């Protein structure tokens, strides 16, 4: 059961210059939406970031190569099969799918970016995807985002999508994004698939910078299990179909409006991934403050967020604060003054002066741990920097879901 998420998305806003279609192609299971096509108006710009996993999937390799050659006209996304660990045959399969869509749409194969998610190491069912492409294209429409959000799901229990509108120089600019992810979630870079579009006109270099900034404070600030996927990708498209003036520099007075809106969409999608993590019962914010620099704050936050002992204690609603303290201590900070560190669970101080806070009681800690959303706040008392990571607990169901993943 997802934490704080509804099983039904509100209608997502159409983005001028984008059409989206989804169909059931039977990639892995019959009768479920599993193939999505996103059509991009000619003249649009596109930015993307991809996994840093050395065993990156074939579609990642092909998408990187194609994006370096041409701006895309289509994104082709399948679920049910990751096309990772598939060698040369996987590359050929991704290329065949791109060519099939390009032939039907009348564009160059390099103008198609492929994306896959699902089981690693199994041959891509190219014939099923190619056969399903006409139906996905036939379903293309401006308001097809909600179906697409469902069509990219794997072990997700709810679709994930966000829309926002901002006013730039008196003109409405729309941003809509969808994402999938529930397990194999950890930074470097996006730990899932996400597709975001806006009708703003943004210079390509600025669009890439905007995406990198947004990913850093969103998809690179979440972890479920410490496993970075082979297929991670995040794409940001700017169609330029809005009548708002073009954005060409980060010094543009209007740029912060778009930057903050894109970052907000990405953060909400990233948090939705953690809220829908496999077997989740608790949504946990790890906030580290008073560090010397953001990097050391992130190191401490990740040490706590990644600890199986911390995560299982949260599942049990057990205020075993010693596990948090141990994670902070092994995070690699040099000359850490442990006597200066304070740790809070929501409003309750559990550690001060190197040990249990004098006014802390197990009853107060247990009351906080019963909540479904909890913040761990760690004060390092060595600077002004801060960082935030979102994570979740580990439940029995996490083990069951991953043990049964291929059955």
In the set 86, 150, 176, 191, the catalytic residue is 191
Please list, in sequence order, all residues whose beta carbon lies within 8 angstroms of the beta carbon of residue 339, skipping any fewer than 6 positions away: 353, 354
Nearest residue to 40 via CA among 63, 17, 22, 21: 17
Q: Are strands 193-198 and 233-238 parallel, antiparallel or unpaired?
A: parallel
Q: Degrees (nearest 5) of the Cα angle 52, 57, 59?
A: 110
For the chain, what is the total number of helices (H) and then of strands (E)? 11, 15
Neighbours of 332 (CB within 10 A): 10
Contact assessment for residue 84 and residue 116, using Cβ atoms and an 8 Å cutoff: yes
**CA-based diameter of the chain, in Å?**
71
Assigned token pair, 183: 């397990």
d(CA 387, CA 288): 5
Q: Can you tell me which residue has the tokens 């996927």?
A: 229
**Burial grade of 6 (CB within 10 A; 0-12, 13-18, 19 or more):** exposed
d(CA 82, CA 231): 7
Q: Can you tell me which residue has the tokens 């708002």?
A: 244
Identify whether 204 is preceded by a cis peptide bond (ω within 30 of 0): no
By three-state DSSP, how is residue 352 classified?
strand
Which helix (H) or strand (E) is 94 found in, with range? helix 87-105
Alpha-carbon distance values, 198 to 41, 145, 194, 335, 400 (Å): 12, 13, 14, 46, 39
Nearest residue to 200 via CA among 176, 182, 221: 176
The verdict on whether 191 is a catalytic residue reads yes
Contact assessment for residue 268 and residue 164, using Cβ atoms and an 8 Å cutoff: no
Which helix (H) or strand (E) is 341 found in, with range? none
Contact assessment for residue 290 and residue 383, using Cβ atoms and an 8 Å cutoff: yes
Identify the sign of the CA torsion 210, 211, 216, 221.
positive
Q: So which residues are the catalytic ones?
A: 191
């Amino acid at each position: 059961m997802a934490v704080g998420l509804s099983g039904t998305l509100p209608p997502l806003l159409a983005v001028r210059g984008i059409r989206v279609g989804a169909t059931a192609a039977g990639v892995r299971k019959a009768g479920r939406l599993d193939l999505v096509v996103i059509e991009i108006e000619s003249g649009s710009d596109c930015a993307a970031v991809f996994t840093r996993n050395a065993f990156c999937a074939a579609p990642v390799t092909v998408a990187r190569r194609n994006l370096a050659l041409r701006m895309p006209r289509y994104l082709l996304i399948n679920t049910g099969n990751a096309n990772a660990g598939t060698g040369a045959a996987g590359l050929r399969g991704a290329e065949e799918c791109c060519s099939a869509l390009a032939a039907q749409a009348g564009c160059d194969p390099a103008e198609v970016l492929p994306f896959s998610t699902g089981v690693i190491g199994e041959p891509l069912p190219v014939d099923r995807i190619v056969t399903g492409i006409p139906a996905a294209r036939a379903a293309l429409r401006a308001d097809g985002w909600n179906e697409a959000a469902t069509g990219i799901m794997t072990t997700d229990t709810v679709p994930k999508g966000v829309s926002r509108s901002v006013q730039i120089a008196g003109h409405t600019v729309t941003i809509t994004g969808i994402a999938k992810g529930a397990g194999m979630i950890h930074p470097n870079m996006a730990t899932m698939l996400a597709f975001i579009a806006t009708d703003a006109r943004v210079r390509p270099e600025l669009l890439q910078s905007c995406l990198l900034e947004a990913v850093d404070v969103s998809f690179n600030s979440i972890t479920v299990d410490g496993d970075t996927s082979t297929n991670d990708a995040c794409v940001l498209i700017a169609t330029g179909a809005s009548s708002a003036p073009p954005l060409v520099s980060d010094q543009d007075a209007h740029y912060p409006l778009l930057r903050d809106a894109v970052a907000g969409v990405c953060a909400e999608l990233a948090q939705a991934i953690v809220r829908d993590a496999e077997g989740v019962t608790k949504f946990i914010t790890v906030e580290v403050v008073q560090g010397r620099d953001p990097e050391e704050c992130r190191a401490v936050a990740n040490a706590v967020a990644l600890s199986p002992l911390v995560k299982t204690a949260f599942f049990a609603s057990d205020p075993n604060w010693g596990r948090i303290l141990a994670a902070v201590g092994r995070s690699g900070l040099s000359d850490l003054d442990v006597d200066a560190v304070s740790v809070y669970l929501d409003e309750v101080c559990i550690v001060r002066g190197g040990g249990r806070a004098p006014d802390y009681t197990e009853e107060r800690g247990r009351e906080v741990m019963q909540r479904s959303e909890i913040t761990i706040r760690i004060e390092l008392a060595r600077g002004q920097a801060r960082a935030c990571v979102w994570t979740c607990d580990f439940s029995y169901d996490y083990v069951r879901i991953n043990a049964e993943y291929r059955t």
